Structure 1
Amino acid sequence: MCTKRPSGPFFFGGSQHWSSTDWTSSDDRVRGGSSQSHLTINDDTNTATFHGNLDIKTLGGAGFASQHTASTTDLWDLSSYAGLELSIPKSDGHTYTLNLRDELQDPRPDGRQRSGLVWEAKFKVEKGQTKVKLGWREFRPTYRGREVHMGRPLILAGVKQFGIMIRSFFGEQEGDFELEIEWIRGIKKEKDRYRDDPNDFEDHEEYYDEKHFSDDQESKGLGWLCCW
């Protein structure tokens, strides 16, 4: 039986407090690697810091570290949004991915999560940038880190897992990493907004017009064998 989580616009942070018990690690150590990740919560600022060490030597140039929501019964309905936006007060210039799953397999006998379809959107926070917007078309279906061609889209009304990941991209990045996240929220669809309302003083940055999103902006799959 699924437990419906708040329908937003804030899914983590903002009006929803971060909690370390909501998240768990999934690093390449499950495949014999040495990378490790942590999610540290600052209750004073209501922020979460994804940090750790990305090792590529143990697995010969490959490696990944990730945190994902721990519950197997939570359910998020993202269908009323055009994508997701992240507020990033601090980053280190590495490339990260935000991951979504709409189905979870039963765990292995040893308790490890089984591989399954994951929709991934990669992003890099440039210098001076504090917000990242990811439209749904930027989330690419992958299996074990490699992009696959699917006959169905992500079931936005039935998302069962969020995740944040860093991977080596076969030796392109390694070492210590740190990404501070203030919040993750849904981006309102342009059609849901009454633009001529003189009393509308909301932050215009949270709106997203999918018509202006070109194919050239779509993420390219950067695959690597992982446990997602």
Structure 2
Amino acid sequence: MANFSTHLKASTIVSATLSSVLLSMSEVSGFQTLGLFIVGALAGLLPDLDSDKSKSLNSLFSIFAILAAGVLLLNFKFNSIIETWGLGLIVYLLFMFVIKPIFEHFTVHRATLHSISAVCMFGILAFHSSLLLGVTLHLSLLCSIFVFVGALTHLVLDECYSVDIDNKELKASFGTALKPIDLRYPFTSLAQVGITIGCVYFAMPHFSTITDLLYTWADRLQTITFLPNLSDYEWPIELS
């Protein structure tokens, strides 16, 4: 499987590509593009929340703890510096000493979080989390897409690393990442599917608006110019 650094680089490249397309479509502002880029890049690390390596797990939860604290601090006003620092510290400690031990105890690496069902769950949870934070539906849907694509990039990369090109054979880890659902852990897998279905149900009031947005994006994608028009440039004329 790919290591922490490789996953981060891959998701960063994919997220940067998506961000540049959105910017070319004039669909979001520069600041929003930067935010979506960061979300997509970090989403490429989500499936490794079940990592068995303590160093990688500490790095992951430190990143997400700082991100969560930052989001809360940006969305709520506080009367003093002490309150601001206190909330940031509480969120960080909550992630590192409450949530992280739960993940360490109940998760197995390359199990249920390395599956299509988990990627779908991450994406739909990102949508609802964004709405709860007061983000517009338009931006919430984009955030969900970036999380989905980032997490999916992680699984695809793991499967690519499971192929031994030199020896023309498949490693034992092949098929353990990019799978629809992990039947070895039925309770956890069903919980993921249940969360996803529940979130989709609560998103139903937005379906018509989401459909309109998707059609609009599809139309704008067709108008993007990928190659420069050379006739727009002035070329020096050589005098004979």
Pairwise same-fold verdict (TM > 0.5): no
- Between Structure 1 and Structure 2, which shows a larger proportion of helix residues? 2
- Structure having greater relative contact order (Cα 8 Å, sep ≥ 6): 1
TM-score (normalizing by structure 1) = 0.27
- Compute the TM-score of the two structures, normalised by the length of structure 2: 0.27
